[in-house]
Amino acid sequence: MTVTRTGGHVEVSTGVITVVFGGRNSRTVVRSVSRGSTEIARDGRLVALRQGRYEGGAEVEEFDGRVEKVTVEQDGPVRAVVRVEGRHRHGRRDWLPFTLRFAFHAGAESFKLVHTFVWDGEQKPGSDKGDFLRGLGVRFTVPLRDEAYDRHVRLADSGGGLFAEAVQGITGLRRDPGEAVRKAQIAGEKLPDTSTWDSRVSGRLAYIPKWGDFTLTQPTADGYAIRKRTRSGYGWIPAAAGQRAGGFGYVGGASGGLSFGLRDFWQRHPTQLDIRGAHTDAAEVTLWLYSPDAPPLDLRFYHDGLGQDTYDKQLEGLEITYEDYEPGFGNPYGIARTSELAFWALDATPSAEKLAAQAAAVATPPLLTATPERLHAAGIFGDWAPVDRSNAARKAIEDHLDDLFAYYRDQREDRRWYGFLDYGDVQHTYDNDRHVWRYDVGGYAWDNSELGTDLWLWYHFLRTGSAEAFRFAEAMTRHTGEVDVHHLGKYAGLGTRHGVQHYADSAKQLRISTATNRRFHYFLTGDERTGDLLRELVTAELTFLQVDPQRKVRTDDYEPGDRHALSVGFGTDWGALSAAWLTEWERRGPNAEKAYEKLVNSLRTIADQPNGFFTGDALLDADTGKFAVVTDKSVNVSHLSAVFGLVETNSELVSLLGDKEPEFADAWLKYAQYYNGTNAEKTALTGSTWRSALPAAHSRITAYAARHKDDPTLAKRAWNEFYTGSDTYFPSNDWSRVTIKTPDVLHRTEEIPWISTNSSAQWALAAIQNLALIGDRIPS
């Protein structure tokens, strides 16, 4: 593996293929892809289509991706990564900033592309005018040197099948060229010299059409179509159809060609693959991340505000639809989407078996990982342990953990939780009357990481080693870290609370963007894009200068604006900040020393509060990470404080720093022991009481206290909270699925009507952590 920089260009060689990148201010991202002395592809570029009105008839403008910066992030000897940044441009307008990462491995004939774009367009609710994305794609030109009958097109179905045709087919003709000729073309091999063919065919080749253009469109998760034509200006012919395409194709011939693929192709519909000009000396391949054949991407907010023009009215709205509305906040500006693509530069048309293997690698890229036992032995990610069914009580919990994951896996398919922006998320709450999830009811629709869904799925993978669980969690991380978070603008660094649209709710909070949810994917894979998301959050406390999460319910005179006195809660807010600082320190990033300083200062000043974590919040100095110490023994306890990653992050902090910061370790231990305590215990400790909401979810912090104090009484209390808490899934719940038949529903479906995602995530996390911490004390 070699990386060279010459004449303002970067060149990467794997030993098999060589890729040359375009320079700054170029519209060409990749100048050429060669295998030996043969150019396989060239002029790799980006294309975005925009129209200024949503309705039909609007003029479509084509934007080219313009390169602003090329950086070598890793230069071998086994792996190389080239990062390309820029924006799409049409005329004088720049739009849709992008970041591309090309990853190469020594000895490989392929490379991977991770494509990220950020939405910076404008769409106004109630207006038909604005920036409407009509298409977004990656395009390469593929030189073709072979005769038309030696050129091949392949497109994959997700089930492993291939649509396989030649640009100029010589099978099925009125006259037979010969069995050897036909078999060679079907196999994608170079045909024998035409002198060996039946002359009735070889002498009439000019009259056999050459099919230059092929298109595969996947408008929904339930159907795709392939069509072809001879060239532009002539009619399209239906060629094939199926349910779910593999997002993979090939164009080339006996002397070489390009395989290409887009991961999660049907899951992120509408998508499309185009091959154009295969009958000429160079075909054009476009992988459409958003299909130009689909309606424009509509990101307008979905209602007119319903008269909610004051905080009082907005709080009333929250009471009925659970949507936290505020004018102007339901804006998609700054959300992002990351896609994964793969390309192979080949010296000849591969066999059907090799192409099918490439298509499978696009859909489910191979990943090297470790066993749950090895990961657990490393002590990573806090309190969890591999699956253990050594007694009946453990087995009952383990079986239900498996049942719960399987239910959400199946619900994703049954309810079609797919789509360009939606794929990866699950929904929040079920509607037992309509027998659907509440997709259209305010804050009950998309989940957006609420109450630790990401964490539950990642811990489920860690302890089971299930590839299926990993893919589910990975898709969620790709979604929640990009679409549910703003990366540009006023809300940059903040995530959006659950709602009908992923960006629609006015609660912009760190509890959604939290690094806690991203750490798993980054440390298990080294994915650079996820690393970007983590680094974006290192100074996330500065978002409090712009947006006060408590603005609608404040009773004091606090106003944001002073970077040395930011109102920050010790739960959902500081839990997210501490995870970001911890991760930057662990990564030894450019801000590691400052992140560590702020982390330690915040630990110490939380411990200095008269009531520690029970104080609830204080004023944070964004430059030092120090909290101002309150002057009284105030108590402010929220049931949400510990259910967005605080438990998991603090477990890691204590294991890493507890010996150096014993006061912090003690402050957290007190919170863990007394949150679910009796009123007498609460009063004796803090001078006040509070309602211990979500007692079963919080049983895991009681378990934490039991483990660290080696206290069997606390362990017994924790299991009692887990089994009898008002928010538990035990002991009386019926886990069997209920079948609802037509015509009572649109499609025959299965439901467990009492399940909701908040409770699912917290019950699962409590089960996992209780088993790890006090599994040896589980009641029989």
* Phi/psi-derived region of residue 2, left when phi > 0, alpha when psi is between -120 and 50, beta in every other case: beta
Q: Which of 701, 693, 690, 757 has the alpha carbon at shortest distance from 729?
A: 757
Q: At what angle do helices 392-414 and 467-480 cross, to 10 degrees?
A: 50
* Phi/psi-derived region of residue 121, left when phi > 0, alpha when psi is between -120 and 50, beta in every other case: beta
Handedness of CA 284, 288, 294, 295 (dihedral sign): negative
| Bond into 292 cis (ω within 30) | no
Residues of the chain with pLDDT under 70: none
Three-state DSSP at 250 gives strand
Three-state DSSP at 764 gives helix
Q: What pLDDT score does 730 carry?
A: 83
Fold of 1-168+246-302+335-366: Beta-galactosidase; Chain A, domain 5 (2.70.98)
- Tell me which H or E stretch contains 373: helix 372-377
Domain ranges of the chain: 1-168+246-302+335-366
Q: What's the rounded Cα separation, in Å, for the pair 9 and 19? A: 10
Q: What pLDDT score does 589 carry?
A: 87
Q: DSSP secondary structure string, 203-249?
A: TTGGGS----EEEEEEEETTEEEEEEESSTTS--EEEEEES-EEEEE
Q: What pLDDT score does 109 carry?
A: 97
Three-state DSSP at 90 gives strand
Three-state DSSP at 538 gives coil
Give 243's contacts (C-beta < 8 A, 6+ positions apart): 158, 222, 223, 224
Q: DSSP secondary structure string, 32-80?
A: EEEETTEEEEEEEEEEEEEEEESSTTPPEEEEEEEEEEEEEEEE-SSEE
Which residues on adjacent β-strands are paired with residue 64?
47, 89
Q: What pLDDT score does 731 carry?
A: 76
The structure tokens 């409590």 sit at: 766
Could you report the per-residue pLDDT of 107-165, keeping only the tens digit for each?
999 999 999 999 999 999 999 999 999 999 999 999 999 999 999 999 999 999 999 99
Between the two ends of the chain, the Cα-to-Cα distance in Å is: 58
The total number of residues written for the chain in this structure:
780
- The CB density around residue 80, as the number of other CB atoms within 10 Å, is 24
Would you say the pTM of this structure is higher than 0.85?
Answer: yes
Q: What pLDDT score does 31 carry?
A: 97
- Give how far the C-alpha of residue 521 lies from the chain's centroid of Cα atoms, to the nearest Å: 10
What own/partner pairs with CB < 8 Å and gap ≥ 24 does 677-683 have? none
